[in-house]
Amino acid sequence: MTDVAIGFLLLGVAMLVVLGIVFAISSRGGAPRETPRPPRGVHLPGPSFLPVIMSVGALLLGAGLAFRAEDQFANLWLAIPGLAVLVFGIVAWVAAANSEWRDTEHGSHDDGAAH
């Protein structure tokens, strides 16, 4: 067995252990607790296409790093557009979050009901 195979085997075992711990913690029972209510004005954001855009950018970036020639660091035809799309998605999402935050601070969403 090569060193790379042993590394992947150790990584797989570690992932299974972590998933098992998360499953054990999340599935243990207990007394039902009262769900805390959010403060006035706080609500879930509306649906957004930005996570999908960022995923496409990350996919292109990852493909550019994976599908490359032996003497290259990355396939620039995939990596550069992927990086641009990913950065665009991050900037747009932060701008949308800032806009939402400002709207909430100024009370335009303060209707008294928790959504």
Buried b (16+ CB within 10 A) or exposed e, 29-60: eeeeeeeeeeeebeeeeeeeebeebbeebeeb
User: Model pTM?
Assistant: 0.56
- The number of helix segments (H) and strand segments (E) in the chain equals 3, 0
Q: What is the reported pLDDT for 36?
A: 67
pLDDT tens-place string over residues 58-106: 999 999 999 988 888 888 999 999 999 999 999 998 888 888 777 776 7
User: Which residue type sits at 6?
Assistant: I
pLDDT at 39 over 90: no
Percent of the chain with pLDDT over 90: 37
pLDDT at 10 over 50: yes
